[in-house]
Amino acid sequence: MASTTPEALEAEIAQQTAIFNELRLNPEKAETLGSLDDVKKSLGDLKKRLALAKNAGKEKKPKDKDGAQAQAQDATKKERLMLKTAKGTRDYSPAEMFCREHVERIVKDVFTSFGGSCLDTPVFERKDVLTDKYGEDSKLIFDLKDQGGEELALRYDHTVPLARYLAMQGGNNTHSKLWQIGKVYRRDNPVMSKGRMREFSQADFDISGVWDPMVPDAEILSLICTILSKLDVGEFTIKLNNRKILDGIFEVCGVPAEKIRAISSAVDKLDKSPWSEVKREMTEDKGLDPAVADKIGEYVKHKGGPELLEKLLADSTLTANQSAKEGLGEMEILFRLLKVYQVVDKISFDLSLARGLDYYTGIIYEAIVAASAPPGFNSANAFAAAPTTEPAQAPTSKPKSAPKKLGDEEPEVDESQVGVGSIAAGGRYDHLVSAFLAGAAGVKLGSKEAKKIPSIPCVGISIGLDRIFALVWPKWVERGARAKETMVYVMSAGDGLLDERIGLVRDLRAAGVKADFLAKNKPKLAAQFAAGEKDEVPFAVILGGDELRQGLVTVKEQRWELVDGKKAKIESTDKGTQVKRSELVEWLKKTPTWQEWVSQKWS
């Protein structure tokens, strides 16, 4: 029966909105919840019917109330609170956090394995610290309101605050390996289901200081390969290039000096667009001679391993260029070191990789996994269709349908056409710390006055934890992973025994056993089992008055298995084991179940 009263319709709208939000975050739930399109349509219908019902109500009820009252009610309706998180942000539920904590634990463990120490900087910075660091992306910075005092903005990444921190250390501690894990902020268009958020977590690792060539660079590449191998993200590739080689190629091909950064940013789009489109941007939008563009196209289509390096080293036009020569020399050393680190097979030397940020000065890299590419686009084929035919399925940055508005939801993006993108990226930035030092001294980097400014070169990587979560979480759901660490649920068979239950829980916790109980005076045994089962607790400990007086408790082990995608308790005929209360902790810790759980089988 279709609802007709405004109240009933509002309740239904609230319910459908909840489903809509759930589907946006977890598109895979469409099987049980219905498709996003259907839910949207149903929401639209409901809202129309609500508007009609309200008008009908107004026509019917005018005599029940005077005008003032009716207006007051309208005002109340307008003030209705939107129960939601800000656009591009989300809550992470306990089950999701259990997965995220697992990911973070692995990342931190590798960070410290590689000699890293933790740094923490504030979530907001003085605005001038962020100014002139991000090129045209500066428009994405979240500013704080001027409430008197300093101009402030939310941090955009960890790299710039790290450089500010290193600059504040002055000449000290210039040799460092620092890691940071925390949230950063960008006013970008969010695609929530792919982990593209306005608030997102990045894990950074950076090495600063003057070392011998390419040794820290190789450490960082070994680090990211180690982390991605340990996380359940599937096969991955590290795309690798060098700004010095890229700049050399542009010079050799005849790109005018003032156009190099603009052409570089066009090349950077080759992971999302075919060559024909990139060439069009270079020539039509950026005024490059088509013959020059074609020469660039010949170079940037190359990708491979050390054999590509050999080929480029044999290219005498290229090696005659100072910048390219330097870059190729660096790559030779790097590939030798990567062999020692046993990660060469993970590396794809890719001349089309350019990276957006201006501050990179040497090698640059991006980690991608098969699952992270947008569907219908295979970057290996970017050149296959060029230059004469435009592939019909190539996604563009525009959504296929014009943006519509649903309530005050954000304009829609066709999420099925968006990939997770790179899950980690970084490079060498040799001048960022010096730029801060020069700024503080009031001189311009590169000027005569700045020659006493110390050089603190850096190389680092940022790992996108939300994108990794977007890849790992569906597998957790599939495996039916647990979301709590509680090991024991203490219950009473008979007369409530609240004090006795609390007493045992207290003793267990004091002995390092994570334990819980139902906070009721006289709960039924079935309710207590149900509560313990909700948490998938492996041990149920049952207290009975008579037993307790003999110093005994009953322990039942509980196991779960996945049945049709849902966790189900394996019913056993086990009536439980009587154990001395005084020996319970020792007994529990000796069971195979305990050993299994503490060896982190659950994570």
Residue 407 interacts with its own copies (CB under 8 A): yes or no: no
Quick one: which of 5, 18, 72, 298 contacts its own copies (CB under 8 A)?
18
Quick one: which of 5, 93, 397, 416 contacts its own copies (CB under 8 A)?
93
Comparing CA positions, the residue from 503, 426, 410 lying closest to residue 462 is 426
Residue 86 interacts with its own copies (CB under 8 A): yes or no: yes
Residue 143 interacts with its own copies (CB under 8 A): yes or no: yes
Quick one: which of 48, 61, 65, 77 contacts its own copies (CB under 8 A)?
77
Residue 414 interacts with its own copies (CB under 8 A): yes or no: no
Closest approach of its own copies to the CB of residue 383, in Å? 36
Quick one: which of 36, 39, 152, 588 contacts its own copies (CB under 8 A)?
152
Q: Beta-carbon neighbour count of residue 3 at 10 Å?
A: 16
- Which runs of consecutive H residues, i.e. helices, occur in 341-431? none
3-state secondary structure of 147: coil
Residue 332 Cα to chain centre, angstroms? 33
Quick one: which of 28, 37, 120, 583 contacts its own copies (CB under 8 A)?
120
| Closest CB to its own copies among residues 86, 314 | 86
| Closest CB to its own copies among residues 342, 455 | 342
Contact 221, 347 (CB under 8 A): yes
Residue 211 interacts with its own copies (CB under 8 A): yes or no: yes
The dihedral built from the CA positions of residue 276, 281, 284 and 290, taken in this order, carries a sign that is negative
| Closest CB to its own copies among residues 208, 422 | 208
- Which runs of consecutive H residues, i.e. helices, occur in 208-259? 215-230, 243-253
The dihedral built from the CA positions of residue 179, 184, 186 and 192, taken in this order, carries a sign that is positive
Span of 38-46, 49-57, 498-506, 583-591 interacting with its own copies by CB under 8 A:
498-506
Quick one: which of 44, 304, 503, 576 contacts its own copies (CB under 8 A)?
503
Closest approach of its own copies to the CB of residue 479, in Å? 18
Residue 170 interacts with its own copies (CB under 8 A): yes or no: yes
Closest approach of its own copies to the CB of residue 103, in Å? 13
| Closest CB to its own copies among residues 219, 247 | 219
Residue 369 interacts with its own copies (CB under 8 A): yes or no: no
| Closest CB to its own copies among residues 375, 407 | 407
Tell me how far apart the alpha carbons of residues 586 and 590 are, in angstroms, rounded to a whole number.
6
Closest approach of its own copies to the CB of residue 475, in Å? 20
Per-residue contact string for residues 217-236; x = within reach of its own copies by CB under 8 A: -xx--x---x----------
Residue type, 476: W
Residue 164 interacts with its own copies (CB under 8 A): yes or no: yes
Q: With the CA atoms of 511, 514, 518 and 521 taken in that order, what torsion angle do they form, in degrees rounded to the nearest 10?
A: 10
Residue 142 interacts with its own copies (CB under 8 A): yes or no: yes
Closest approach of its own copies to the CB of residue 447, in Å? 10
Closest approach of its own copies to the CB of residue 242, in Å? 19
Quick one: which of 79, 136, 546, 564 contacts its own copies (CB under 8 A)?
79
* Count, residues near its own copies per rule CB under 8 A: 103
3-state secondary structure of 279: helix
| Closest CB to its own copies among residues 10, 330 | 10
Tell me how far apart the alpha carbons of residues 195 and 188 are, in angstroms, rounded to a whole number.
12
- What is the footprint of its own copies within residues 574-603 (CB under 8 A)? none
Tell me how far apart the alpha carbons of residues 69 and 32 are, in angstroms, rounded to a whole number.
44
Contact 429, 439 (CB under 8 A): no
Tell me how far apart the alpha carbons of residues 72 and 88 are, in angstroms, rounded to a whole number.
33
Q: Beta-carbon neighbour count of residue 313 at 10 Å?
A: 16
Span of 168-176, 233-241, 259-267, 363-371 interacting with its own copies by CB under 8 A:
168-176
Quick one: which of 56, 320, 502, 563 contacts its own copies (CB under 8 A)?
502
Tell me how far apart the alpha carbons of residues 219 and 56 are, in angstroms, rounded to a whole number.
70
Closest approach of its own copies to the CB of residue 199, in Å? 5
Quick one: which of 20, 46, 53, 90 contacts its own copies (CB under 8 A)?
90
Q: Which two tokens stand for residue 417?
A: 């056409």
Q: Which two tokens stand for residue 561?
A: 């298995």
3-state SS of 321-367 is CHHHHHHHHHHHHHHHHHHHCCCHHHEEEECCCCCCCCCCCCEEEEE
Tell me how far apart the alpha carbons of residues 42 and 36 are, in angstroms, rounded to a whole number.
10
Closest approach of its own copies to the CB of residue 79, in Å? 7
Tell me how far apart the alpha carbons of residues 282 and 262 are, in angstroms, rounded to a whole number.
8
Instruction: Tokens 């024991």: give the residue.
Output: 488
Q: Which two tokens stand for residue 255?
A: 């790109």
Residue 19 interacts with its own copies (CB under 8 A): yes or no: no
- What is the footprint of its own copies within residues 421-480 (CB under 8 A)? 436, 439-444
Q: Which two tokens stand for residue 319?
A: 């090696």
Residue type, 199: E
Residue 51 interacts with its own copies (CB under 8 A): yes or no: no
Span of 44-52, 60-68, 123-131, 468-476 interacting with its own copies by CB under 8 A:
123-131
Per-residue contact string for residues 312-351; x = within reach of its own copies by CB under 8 A: ------------------------xx--xxx---------
Tell me how far apart the alpha carbons of residues 335 and 370 are, in angstroms, rounded to a whole number.
24
- What is the footprint of its own copies within residues 511-540 (CB under 8 A)? 512-516, 519-521, 535
Tell me how far apart the alpha carbons of residues 531 and 175 are, in angstroms, rounded to a whole number.
53
Q: Which two tokens stand for residue 225?
A: 């390969």
